[in-house]
C-alpha cells in the first residue's frame, strides 16, 4: 500500500462504517429537524432552586477513557462516623434539555445508542449536547440526578436515596492515569494533586469499589475477561491496535454504576413505577458449558449455577492466563445475550446471571444510551409525583427495540474492528506469526495472533487442531471491505 493510501486509512474506515450503519438501519447523520432544534438551545439547563440541592463544593470527579468527552457520571465518597461510607453518583440530567417526543429525542429513540467505531463515533445525541451542554464537564455547574448509597465496611448496602442536585466536576481524570497511581506504578496525576483532599477521597472510593466487587463475586458474579482493542492513529494513518485491559480505576466506575443501577431499579419499584430491566437469563446452553468444563477436567453441576461457574473460571484463569480471554468469550457466547425487558410493579424481576443481581436497570449513561434516558424520565416523574411518562405497551416495544438496536450497533463496531485489523495486516501478507486456536467446528477454524490482538480464519492446515492449541500460521490474504483475514498453517 502506498504512503498516500496509508494516509487515507481513516477515510477508508469511515466509508465502511457509514455503509455498515445504514445496512443495520442506523442513522449516521442528524436530520435537518434535529439541527434546527439544536440551534435553538443556547446553554445548559439552569438550576431549579426549589427542587435541587447545591452540591458543587464536594470532591466530584469524572474517570473515563483518555479521549472521552461525553461525561455522564461523577463520583465522590464521604466517610461516616460509624465506619460506613457514603457513595454519591451524579448522573447528567439529559432530560432537562432533550425533551420527550422532540426531534432530538426521536433520533436518540431510533438509534438507541452511540456507536463507537475505530474510525468515527456516531453519537446518539449531537456533540453540542453530549460533550458540552449535557456533559458533566470540568469546572462546569450542571444539573444531575444523584444516587446516594451508604455502604457498610464490607460493601453491603445499608440505605439509599435519589434526588436532584447541581454538581461541579473538580477533576477530569483518566482510567490509565488513576489506575497507575492507585496500583503504585505511576505518580499522582496533576489533576488530583491540584485539589487538596481528592487523593484520599479517591483511595476511599477505590477501597469501597473493591469491597463491592468482592461481595458481588461472593454471590456468583462472573470473572470474565475478553480482549478489547483501541485503534492507534498517527494523524489519519492506522498504526496499531492496542490491547486494553481492566484496572482498578475502571473497577471504581463499573462497580459503583452496577450498585447505582440496582438502587435505581428498586427505587422505581418501591414507588409503584415500571422499569426497563437489563437481564441476562439463565444460560440456555448450560449443558455445552458443562461439556466444555469437562473437556478441561473440571466438573460443573447439571443445572445452571453462577457460583460454580465462577469457581471454574478462576481456576482456568490461574491455569491458562493466555487462553483465558478466549475461554471467556466462549462462555459469553454460550450464556446468550443480555436484553431489556419491562418490569411492572409487583412482578418478580428477572435477574442478571453474569452480575449476580436481581434488580438492575441501565440508568447511568443517558448521553449515549436511550434506555438510560427513559429511566431518567421515570425517576424524575417518581421524584416529583408526576404520572408515569410512558404507557405500558410503549415501554414493552421500547425494550425490544433497544435490545435489537444495541445488537445492530455491536455488529457495526465488530465489523469495523475486523476491517481495521485487515487494513493493519495488509502490508504483512506472507509473514509468519505465532497463534492460538480460538474456534474449531464444522463452520471453520479460527486463530488469534499472539503478537497482535487480531483474529482470522485458518483456511488451510486445520486438520487435527482444537481450541487452545498453539500453532504457527502464515498470513495469506486480507479483505478490508469485508473484514476478512485468512491464514494457513505454516508450511502448508
DSSP conformation letters of 258-321: HHHHHHHHHHHHHTT--EEEEEBPSPTTHHHHHHHHHHTT----SS--HHHHHHHHHHHHHH-T
Confidence class for position 86, pLDDT limits 50, 70, 90: very high
Q: 450: domain CATH number?
A: 2.40.50.140
Nearest CA to 142 out of 166, 172, 171 is that of 166
pLDDT by residue (tens digit) across 451-483?
Answer: 888 889 999 988 888 777 889 999 999 999 999
- Considering the domain architecture, whether residues 94 and 222 belong to the same structural domain is answered as yes
pLDDT at 236: 87
Does 295 share its domain with 273? Answer: no
Size of the chain, expressed as the number of residues it contains: 492
Residues 40, 186 share a domain: yes
* Distance between CA atoms of residues 485 and 418, nearest Å: 8
In the prediction, which pLDDT does 31 show?
A: 97
Q: For residue 211, what are the domain limits? A: 3-280+339-422
| Separation between Cα atoms, residue 445 and residue 468, nearest integer Å | 12
Same domain, 174 and 316: no
Mean of all residue pLDDT scores within the chain: 90
Question: Does residue 77 register a pLDDT over 70?
Answer: yes
Residues 92 and 203 in one domain: yes
How many Å apart are CA 198 and CA 366, to the nearest integer?
26
Res 3 pLDDT > 60: no
Residue 373 pLDDT exceeds 60: yes
Q: Which pLDDT band, with edges at 50, 70 and 90, does 2 fall under?
A: very low
Position 221 scores a pLDDT of: 72
Together in a domain, 159 and 308:
no
Q: What is the pLDDT of residue 1?
A: 46
Classify strands 432-441 and 444-449 as parallel, antiparallel or unpaired.
antiparallel
Do 69 and 195 lie in one domain? The reply is: yes
The confidence band for 346, taking pLDDT boundaries of 50, 70 and 90, is: confident
Percent of the chain having pLDDT more than 70? 96
Q: What percent of the chain has pLDDT over 90?
A: 65
Distance separating alpha carbons of residues 66 and 363, to the nearest angstrom: 23
Residue pair 150/159 in contact by the 8 Å Cβ criterion: yes
DSSP 8-state assignment for residue 119? S
Integer Cα distance of 368 and 113 in angstroms: 5
Count of Cβ atoms closer than 10 Å to residue 381 Cβ: 18
Instruction: Give CA–CA dist 270/222, Å, rounded.
Output: 28
Share in percent of the chain as helix, strand, coil (round to 5): 40, 25, 35
Cα 42 to chain centroid distance, Å, stands at 30
Classify the C-alpha dihedral 452-454-456-462 as positive or negative: positive
Is the domain of 268 the same as that of 309?
Answer: no
What sign does the CA torsion over 134, 136, 140, 142 have? positive
Q: How confident is the model at residue 257 (pLDDT cuts 50, 70, 90)?
A: very high
Contacts (Cβ under 8 Å, ≥6 apart) of 435: 447, 448, 449, 450, 470, 471, 472, 473, 487
Give the pLDDT of residue 204.
97
Among 422, 456, 473, where does a domain finish? 422
Q: What is the pLDDT of residues 288-301, one digit of tens each?
A: 889 888 988 899 99
**Which residues in 55-202 belong to E strands, given as ranges?**
62-64, 73-79, 85-92, 115-116, 121-122, 141-151, 157-168, 172-174
* Domains contained in the chain, number: 3
- What is the pTM for the complete model shown? 0.89
CA distance 56 to 445: 56
pLDDT digits (tens, 9 = 90+) for 404-433: 999 999 999 989 999 999 999 998 999 999
User: How far, in Å, CA of 282 to CA of 351, rounded?
Assistant: 8
Confidence of residue 131 (pLDDT cuts 50, 70, 90): very high
pLDDT over 70 at 4, yes or no: no
Burial 418-453 (b: 16+ CB within 10 A, else e): bbbbbbbbbeeeeeebebbbbbbeeeebbbbbeebb
Count other C-beta atoms under 10 Å from residue 394's C-beta.
12
Say whether both 35 and 82 belong to one domain: yes
Out of 373, 388, 422, pick the residue that ends a domain: 422
CA separation for the pair 236, 378 (Å, rounded)? 43
Q: Name the one residue in this structure whose C-alpha cell is 496499531.
A: 240
The answer to whether 203 and 178 are in contact (CB under 8 A) is no
Shared domain check, 231 and 110: yes
Rounded Cα gap, residues 299 and 305, in angstroms: 12
Domain boundary among 335, 370, 398: 335
433 sits in the region (left: phi over 0; alpha: psi -120 to 50; else beta) called beta
What is the model's pLDDT at position 62? Answer: 97
What are residue 228's DSSP bridge partners?
Answer: 244
Going by C-alpha positions, the residue among 338, 330, 289 that lies closest to residue 446 is 330
Candidates 261, 227, 231, 262; CA nearest to 246 is 227
Looking at the fold, whether 351 and 476 belong to one and the same domain comes out as: no
Are residues 183 and 325 located together in one domain of the fold?
no
Q: Is 80 exceeded by the pLDDT of residue 201?
A: yes
DSSP secondary structure string for all residues of 194-253: TSTTHHHHHHHHHHHHHHHHHHHHHTT-------EEEEEEETTEEEEEEEE---HHHHHH
Amino acid at each position: 500500500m502506498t504512503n498516500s493510501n496509508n494516509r487515507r486509512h481513516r477515510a477508508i474506515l469511515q466509508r465502511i462504517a457509514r455503509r455498515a450503519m445504514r445496512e443495520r438501519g442506523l442513522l449516521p447523520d442528524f436530520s435537518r429537524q434535529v439541527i434546527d432544534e439544536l440551534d435553538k438551545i443556547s446553554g445548559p439547563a439552569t438550576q431549579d432552586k426549589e427542587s435541587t440541592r447545591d452540591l458543587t463544593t464536594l470532591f466530584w470527579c469524572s474517570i473515563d477513557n483518555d479521549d472521552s468527552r461525553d461525561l455522564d457520571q461523577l463520583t465522590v465518597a464521604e466517610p461516616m462516623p460509624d465506619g460506613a461510607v457514603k457513595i454519591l453518583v451524579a448522573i447528567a440530567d439529559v432530560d432537562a434539555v432533550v425533551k420527550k417526543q422532540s426531534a432530538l429525542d426521536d433520533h436518540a429513540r431510533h438509534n438507541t445508542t452511540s456507536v463507537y467505531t475505530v474510525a468515527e463515533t456516531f453519537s446518539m445525541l449531537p456533540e453540542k449536547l453530549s460533550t458540552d451542554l449535557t456533559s458533566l464537564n470540568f469546572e462546569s455547574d450542571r444539573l444531575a440526578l444523584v444516587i446516594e448509597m451508604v455502604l457498610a465496611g464490607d460493601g453491603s448496602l445499608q440505605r439509599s436515596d435519589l434526588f436532584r442536585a447541581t454538581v461541579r466536576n473538580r477533576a477530569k481524570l483518566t482510567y490509565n492515569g488513576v489506575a497507575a497511581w492507585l496500583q503504585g506504578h505511576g505518580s499522582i496525576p496533576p489533576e488530583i494533586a491540584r485539589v487538596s483532599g481528592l487523593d484520599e477521597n479517591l483511595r476511599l472510593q477505590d477501597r469501597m469499589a473493591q469491597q463491592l466487587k468482592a461481595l458481588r463475586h461472593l454471590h456468583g458474579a462472573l470473572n470474565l475477561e475478553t480482549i478489547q482493542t483501541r485503534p492507534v492513529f498517527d494523524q489519519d494513518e492506522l498504526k496499531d491496535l492496542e490491547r486494553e485491559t481492566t484496572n482498578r480505576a475502571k473497577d471504581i466506575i463499573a462497580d459503583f454504576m452496577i450498585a447505582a443501577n440496582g438502587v435505581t431499579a428498586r427505587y422505581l419499584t418501591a414507588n409503584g413505577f415500571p422499569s426497563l430491566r437489563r437481564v441476562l437469563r439463565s444460560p440456555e446452553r448450560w449443558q455445552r458449558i458443562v461439556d466444555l468444563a469437562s473437556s478441561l477436567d473440571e466438573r460443573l453441576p447439571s443445572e445452571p449455577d453462577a457460583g460454580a461457574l465462577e469457581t471454574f473460571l478462576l481456576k482456568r484463569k490461574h491455569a491458562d492466563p493466555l487462553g483465558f480471554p478466549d475461554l471467556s468469550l466462549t462462555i459469553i457466547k454460550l450464556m446468550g445475550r443480555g436484553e431489556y425487558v419491562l418490569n411492572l410493579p409487583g412482578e418478580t424481576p428477572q435477574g442478571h446471571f453474569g452480575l449476580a443481581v436481581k434488580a438492575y436497570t441501565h440508568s447511568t449513561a443517558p448521553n449515549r444510551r436511550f434506555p438510560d434516558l427513559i429511566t431518567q424520565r421515570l425517576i424524575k416523574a417518581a421524584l416529583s409525583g408526576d404520572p408515569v411518562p410512558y404507557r405500558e405497551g410503549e415501554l414493552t416495544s421500547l425494550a425490544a427495540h433497544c435490545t435489537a438496536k444495541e445488537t445492530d450497533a455491536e455488529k457495526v463496531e465488530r465489523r469495523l474492528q475486523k476491517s481495521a485489523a485487515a487494513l493493519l495486516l495488509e502490508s504483512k501478507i506472507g509473514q509468519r506469526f505465532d497463534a492460538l486456536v480460538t474456534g474449531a467446528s464444522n463452520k471453520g477454524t479460527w486463530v488469534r495472533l499472539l503478537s497482535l490482538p487480531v483474529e482470522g480464519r485458518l483456511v488451510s492446515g486445520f486438520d487435527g487442531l482444537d481450541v487452545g492449541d498453539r500453532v504457527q500460521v502464515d498470513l495469506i490474504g486480507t479483505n478490508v471491505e469485508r473484514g476478512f483475514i485468512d491464514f494457513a498453517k505454516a508450511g502448508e
